[in-house]
A and B are shown apart, each in its own frame.
Chain A
Amino acid sequence: MSEPAIEFTGVSRWYGDTVSLADVTFTIDGGVVGLLGHNGAGKSTTLKLCAGFSTPSTGSVRIFGANPRRSPEIYRRLGMVPDHSPPWPFLTARQVVQLSARLHKIRDSSDAAEQALATVDLVESADRPVGEFSHGMRQRVKLAQALVHGPDLLLLDEPLNGLDPTQRGHVIDLLTRLGVEGRTVLVSSHVLHEVERMAPRVLVLVNGHLVAEGSTDGIRRLISERPRRVLVTADGNSRALARELLDTPAVDAVRLNDGQVEIETSDPSRLSRELPVAAVRAQTLLHEVRPVGDDLESVYAYLHERARGQAR
């Protein structure tokens, strides 16, 4: 039986007092997998550990069954696109990709480089120094050097950063195709809708903890079903509105705050239907209805709390 592409077992990584990754366990083998999380969630640390650029403080990381730090031969099957770190600015794109092909011991490095450059649509600019490139073009050079040896495992740290919509679509199509071919692609992002366009499976990291794992649809459902808070500004009779809302099935809790009504609900769509009815019964007008804590950070915080609750 072949070894899985990536296997994390109880992996933690800390730097001084800062915990970057806490007791993370997962296995990935084949297809595109999204690594989702806010900035500082531990996505880059996870990818660095996969790529053998860092050593776990505890636990073990196995890439195709081997320790990537001790087995340089693993890199014949692994390609890496780091988030920062553009390639050498004085080399042309073609030189960068050819160098990568040679270092990966590809027999016909020139031909392989041409194919990789064509894949990322960079043939026409291939003889310009990387230092003259825009951020998006540098991203494509990084992608080409990672693809040139046809790796079985591709690690990409925020690969869509700096790309225009057309280029994003192109890269997403490319990664989707690689996944369909049976390669393993682990791609980090902090934007769910970006990840769900290419990854049928997602790992969600919050503050170094793996808080959710599963199908992208499942994670989307989990997020949409989380309790929401809505702040309502009514015309005068807020107390009556709050009383009416307490008898409304879609409402879990109501709080009066400086004349505003704060509602907690597990069913926002039902609330949107029941709130106007409650307002009519309370004989008040609604001035403003505003969701609270609907930003991505709040979504991650919810997933974190939920994971801690399940752990308890």
Chain B
Amino acid sequence: MIGPIYRLTLRALLVQKRTLMLAVIALAPVVTALIFALARSPQDGVRDFYSTIVQQLFVPTVASLIALVFGVSAFGDEREDGTILYLVATPQPRVELVVAKVAAAWTATLALVVPSLVLSGVLALGGQASIRLIGWPLLGVLLSTLAYCAASAWLSLMTRRPVVIGIIYILLWEGSIATFAASAAKLSISAYGRAFVAHALPQAAKPVAGTVSSAIVLAVVVAVAVAAATRRLVTAELP
């Protein structure tokens, strides 16, 4: 019975004050695109700017951080205040609990990042905006945020400092090491998300893999994270 747990978790995630803070983060690319749209000259490369904003700001930082916080909070908040007990003390299959939590975290993430990406695209691209130019990056964001949410949910059941570990992974590993070490990029969720951006924008940096391979890798990340979180939920010490 995924529905009631999904709705409960989504509501719990969205009523928090931190959602407002995350909305401000989601606004950053929109504001950047707006400033560009107001100040651009005819010589400016519209697609270059859009490619940069999506590849270097949106996918690796904005979307990943928002997904990390919601993914961690889906279980983390309830572990902290003890309400997780009311879900665990029911005959629900543990995998359904995890799937409902990840789905709720992903929905909350998309509620912020999808309008942000579409608006940023429309503002930055102006008359050149098209379904292809916005749709492919959007697909990359959809898949990568799902992977971040699932991995974060698992992380929140493994450690008491999931946000710190997640931020270190996003900023240090993905944002630094993976940018100059090609092999390290293969262990970067955002690198596979960026592959979809490169499919629509040839200006983008060379992708770590093709779109089909990236989709498969991200799907595997989701499946493994859900399985690991389910296993952990059975063995974790609850409050």
A residues sitting closer than 8 Å to B (CB atoms) are 48, 51-55, 69-70, 72-76, 78-80, 82, 84-88, 90-91, 96, 99-100, 102-105, 145
Contacts and interface: CB of A to CB of B under 8 A. Distances in A.
Q: Which 9 A-B pairs have the closest CB atoms?
A: A85-B82, A103-B90, A53-B238, A75-B91, A80-B89, A72-B91, A76-B91, A73-B91, A75-B90
B44 interface: no
Given A72-B94, A85-B81, A103-B4, A53 B88 contact: yes
Interface string B57-91: 00000000000000000000000011101111111
Contacts of A48: 238
A90 B12 contact: yes
B212 interface: no
A234 B90 CA distance: 63
Interface in B214-239: 234-235, 237-239
A104 B237 CA distance: 22
B92 interface: yes
B11 interface: yes
Given A55-B235, A90-B12, A75 B89 contact: yes
A104 B86 CA distance: 11
A102 B238 contact: no
Contacts of A91: 8
Contacts of B90: 72, 75, 100, 103-104
Interface in B81-127: 81-83, 85-94
Contacts of A54: 237-238
B89 A102 contact: no
Nearest to B83: A88
A69 B235 contact: yes
Contacts of B86: 85, 87-88, 96, 99-100, 145
A194 B89 CA distance: 26
Contacts of A76: 91
Nearest to A74: B91
B1 A69 contact: no
Given A48-B238, A99-B8, A105-B1, A82 B91 contact: no
Nearest to A84: B82
B38 interface: no
> Which of B11, B89, B91, B237 has most A Cβ within 10 Å?
B89
A105 B12 contact: no
Nearest to B82: A85
A146 to B, nearest CB: 8
Interface residues of B, number: 25
B85 A88 contact: no
Contacts of B182: none
A296 B94 CA distance: 42
Contacts of B15: 90
Contacts, number: 74
B12 to A, nearest CB: 7
A99 B89 contact: no
Interface in B1-59: 1, 4-5, 8, 11-12, 15
A20 B12 CA distance: 33
A80 to B, nearest CB: 5
Contact of A72 (B8, B82, B93): B93
Contact of A104 (B8, B88, B91, B94): B91
Contacts of A88: 8, 12, 83, 86
B8 A82 contact: no
Contacts of B93: 72
Contacts of A99: 4, 8, 86
A87 B5 CA distance: 14
Contacts of B83: 85, 87-88
Given A54-B238, A103-B1, 12 more contacts: A51-B85, A53-B238, A69-B235, A73-B91, A75-B90, A78-B89, A80-B85, A80-B89, A85-B86, A91-B8, A103-B90, A105-B1
Given A48-B238, A85-B239, A88-B12, A53 B92 contact: no
19 contacts: A51-B85, A51-B89, A53-B89, A54-B237, A54-B238, A72-B92, A75-B90, A75-B91, A78-B89, A80-B89, A84-B239, A85-B86, A85-B239, A90-B11, A100-B90, A102-B1, A103-B1, A103-B91, A145-B86
Given A72-B92, A90-B15, A103 B87 contact: yes
A82 B234 contact: no
A275 to B, nearest CB: 51
B85 A82 contact: yes
A85 B85 contact: yes
A135 B237 CA distance: 26
Contacts of A73: 91
A179 B120 CA distance: 64
A278 to B, nearest CB: 56
B6 to A, nearest CB: 12
B73 to A, nearest CB: 14
